[in-house]
Amino acid sequence: MEGFAQVQTDPVRTLQQENQTLKAQLEGRQTNNQAAQLDTWRASTKQASLNAILNEAVAPALAKTQEAWGKLPGGNEAFNDLVRDRLHSQVMKTMAADTRFEDRMQLLRSTAARATSAQRRAEIGEQIKQAHVNRANLAIEVLKPEVEKFATARYKERNEVTHQRRASSANHRAPGGSGTPVKKSLVPAGAQFEYATPASLAADLRDLF
């Protein structure tokens, strides 16, 4: 009991215990801070890679194509829908299916998790982003011709449907010039309304339009 009392009242021992407690708290805070910093790095690196795929790979590869489509009626909207967005979607699917590429990216992310400085993690983040751009460019080389072929065919189909709709609408308009005289009466000649049936009414009323 006497020894225990001495330990309890020993200022040096008390200070050591307090230091150990403060050190444990500090290390815990540092661990939490490092985890938060790593989470932030992962999120920012992912977003930077996604942006780079579109802005540094897909968009530059389609620059001349976009210029050509811009000269067509409604070409800018059609380009975004049929070419850019479609190619971007297919590139993303191709990259997601590449397990070897994902294994390499996971290795880099693991290296970043062990990095002792924010600068080193930033360097690894840039490597990851550039790797995504390079992989996207490889996918674009394969996918771009087929996407452009599809887009051209689809644009042509849309225009043909539009022309057919306009032609059909024009055919339903009353002809001008020296065609059939304009009817002054709403009752067609020879209409038999006295003994009208649904079928005969429909046939007679067709002459009104």
- Identify whether 34 is part of a domain: yes
Task: Name the band, by pLDDT with cuts 50, 70 and 90, for residue 209.
Answer: very low
- Identify whether 102 is part of a domain: yes
Give the lowest-confidence range in 81-85, 113-117, 132-136: 113-117
- Identify whether 131 is part of a domain: yes
- Identify whether 188 is part of a domain: no
- Identify whether 106 is part of a domain: yes
Our CA angle for 45, 51, 54, nearest 5°, is: 145
**For residue 168, what are the CA distances in angstroms to 22, 54, 154, 174, 176?**
84, 41, 21, 13, 16
Q: Indicate if the pLDDT at residue 164 is higher than 80.
A: no
Cβ neighbours around 53 below 10 Å, total: 23
Query: Which residue bears the tokens 């009323």?
Result: 205
- Identify whether 91 is part of a domain: yes
Task: Name the band, by pLDDT with cuts 50, 70 and 90, for residue 188.
Answer: very low
Q: Indicate if the pLDDT at residue 79 is higher than 50.
A: yes
Q: Indicate if the pLDDT at residue 172 is higher than 70.
A: no
Closest listed residue to residue 208, CA positions, set 174, 178, 165:
174
Query: Can you give the residue range of the structural domain that contains 36?
Result: 20-162
The pLDDT value given to residue 196 = 40
Q: In 93-131, which positions are buried (b, 16+ CB within 10 angstroms) versus exposed (e)?
A: ebbeeeeebeeebeeebeebeeeeeeeebeebbebbbeb
- Identify whether 171 is part of a domain: no
| pLDDT, tens only, 17-59 | 666 666 666 566 656 788 888 999 999 999 999 999 999 999 9
CA distance 165 to 124: 56
The pLDDT value given to residue 18 = 66
- Identify whether 107 is part of a domain: yes
Give the total number of structural domains in the chain: 1
Our CA angle for 166, 170, 171, nearest 5°, is: 120
